[in-house]
């Protein structure tokens, strides 16, 4: 029996086949870093917010983050309207293509299947009022390393036989204006970065290389961090006293290849840093498939704050 199931036994969606990584996520787990507990939450927070907006949900409502697709198959037991945003994972409803960035209705017995990435990496599936799951340390977000959150409070992805239930009834029906919704990364995309306190420790040549040529997204990437490959960056620091690590921190380990730390990052670290990607840049990077070319582009802290505020205003 699903411990998160509500009292309405007729309202649910059953996982018929599990994909490689389908996680329950919300905005994340905050105020617990001093306990060594990471943030978690939706990696592409912009697509996540759009999915909830389409249904009129609260911005932090729990939804599914679906990575790669991989054959994830869901069958509904009751009529429901869901919203799908983010990556195009070749989603199909009873064998018919389903475009992202819109809401759609499912009838009892219909099956929703996610196949493989066509553009982007992560799709977000929102439910009326948000998914029902236990709240752990103020969040329902799955974090595998800490074994926190999710349907069974163990941080694990969905598995065949799991049953999803939700809080709301008939949701709002909204449409995203043309050109306003989530944008998937282009072949070469710009990632704004706010420079950090250790920037002066890197050689002039390395700084020129860091910001004036593209980096390639490595296949060694997950919710903890994304490796970028290119020229080896060099500096006078090989390590620092461990300090707190923000979302998007760009660490430079001894091999000189940057690691961008993402939602499931460790809470402290001792490698020197170029700085930190902006929140919007982290959302973009979360959608980059291996091999995507990216450019690090320095911006001021005030510019990053202005861009973040403008993004939040879109949903008002």
> For the residues 57-77, what does the mean pLDDT come to?
96
- Cβ contact 134:4 at 8 Å: yes
pLDDT beyond 50 at 136? yes
Task: Please give the pLDDT value at position 96.
Answer: 96
Residues 95 and 289: their CA atoms lie apart, in Å, by: 25
Task: Say if strands 102-106 and 80-88 run parallel, antiparallel, or are unpaired.
Answer: antiparallel
| Confidence at 9, pLDDT banded by 50, 70, 90 | low
What would the two tokens of residue 102 be? 């819109």
Burial class of residue 5, CB neighbours in 10 A (0-12, 13-18, 19+): middle
What 3-state class would DSSP assign to 4?
coil
pLDDT for 280 equals: 96
What is the pLDDT, as a whole number, of residue 10?
A: 61
Report the predicted TM-score, pTM, of the whole model to 2 decimal places: 0.94
- Return the bridge partners of 283, or none: none
Q: How large is the average pLDDT for residues 232-242?
A: 88
Question: pLDDT (tens digit, 9 = 90+) per residue, 179-219?
Answer: 888 999 988 899 999 999 999 999 999 999 999 999 999 99
Beta carbons within 8 Å of 263's beta carbon, 6+ residues apart: 28, 38, 39, 40, 41, 42, 43, 223, 247
| 19-48 mean pLDDT | 95
Q: Is the pLDDT of residue 4 over 80?
A: no
Residue 173: pLDDT band (50, 70, 90) is: confident
Q: What is the pLDDT of residue 1?
A: 37
Q: Are strands 293-299 and 268-269 parallel, antiparallel or unpaired?
A: unpaired
How far, in Å, CA of 91 to CA of 112, rounded? 7
Domain 188-313 grouped into CATH 3.90.1010.10: no
Q: Across the chain, what does the average pLDDT equal?
A: 93
Return the domain boundaries, the chain: 13-164, 188-313
Average of per-residue pLDDT across 79-107:
95
* Distance, CA of 257 to CA of 103 (rounded, Å): 40
Residue 240, pLDDT score: 87
Residues near 226 by beta carbon (within 8 Å), at least 6 away in sequence? 217, 218, 259, 260, 262, 285, 288
Which tokens go with 23? 């996680």
Mean pLDDT calculated for residue range 134-156: 94
* Tens-place pLDDT, residues 255-307: 999 999 999 999 999 999 999 999 999 999 999 999 999 999 999 999 999 99
Give pLDDT, residue 8: 53
- Rounded to an integer, what distance in angstroms lies between the CA atom of residue 90 and that of residue 115? 5
Q: Tell me if 12 sits within 8 A of 24, measured CB to CB.
A: no
Helix (H) or strand (E) segment spanning residue 215: strand 215-221
Burial (Cβ within 10 Å: 0-12, 13-18, ≥19) of residue 149: buried
What residues have CB less than 8 Å from 240, skipping those under 6 apart? Answer: 198, 270, 271, 272
Residue 3 pLDDT class (50, 70, 90 cuts) = very low
């Amino acid at each position: 029996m699903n411990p998160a199931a509500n009292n309405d036994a007729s309202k649910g969606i059953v996982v018929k086949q599990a994909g490689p990584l389908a996680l329950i996520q919300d905005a994340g787990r905050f105020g617990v870093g001093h306990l060594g507990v990471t943030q978690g939450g939706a990696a592409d927070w912009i697509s996540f917010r759009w999915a909830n907006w389409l249904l009129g949900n609260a911005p932090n409502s729990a939804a599914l983050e679906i990575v790669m697709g991989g054959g994830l198959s869901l069958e509904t037991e009751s009529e429901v309207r869901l919203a799908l945003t983010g990556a195009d994972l070749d989603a199909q409803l009873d064998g018919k293509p389903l475009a992202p960035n819109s809401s759609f209705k499912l009838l009892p017995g219909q099956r929703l299947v996610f196949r493989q990435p066509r553009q982007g990496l992560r799709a977000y599936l929102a439910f009326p009022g948000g998914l029902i799951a236990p709240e752990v340390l103020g969040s329902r977000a799955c974090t595998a390393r800490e074994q926190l959150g999710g349907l069974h409070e163990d941080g694990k992805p969905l598995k065949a036989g799991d049953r999803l239930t939700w809080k709301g009834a008939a949701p709002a029906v909204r449409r995203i204006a043309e050109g306003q919704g989530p944008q998937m990364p282009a072949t070469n995309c710009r990632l704004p970065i706010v420079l950090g306190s250790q920037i002066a420790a890197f050689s002039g040549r390395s700084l020129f290389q860091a910001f004036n040529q593209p980096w390639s997204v490595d296949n060694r990437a997950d919710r903890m961090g994304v490796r970028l490959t290119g020229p080896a960056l060099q500096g006078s620091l090989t390590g620092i006293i461990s300090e707190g690590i923000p979302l998007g921190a760009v660490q430079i380990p001894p091999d000189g290849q940057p690691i961008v730390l993402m939602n499931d990052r460790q809470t402290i670290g001792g490698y020197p840093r170029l700085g930190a990607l902006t929140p919007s840049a982290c959302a973009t990077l979360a959608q980059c498939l291996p091999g995507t070319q990216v450019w690090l582009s320095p911006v001021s802290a005030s510019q990053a704050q202005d861009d973040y505020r403008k993004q939040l205003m879109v949903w008002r």
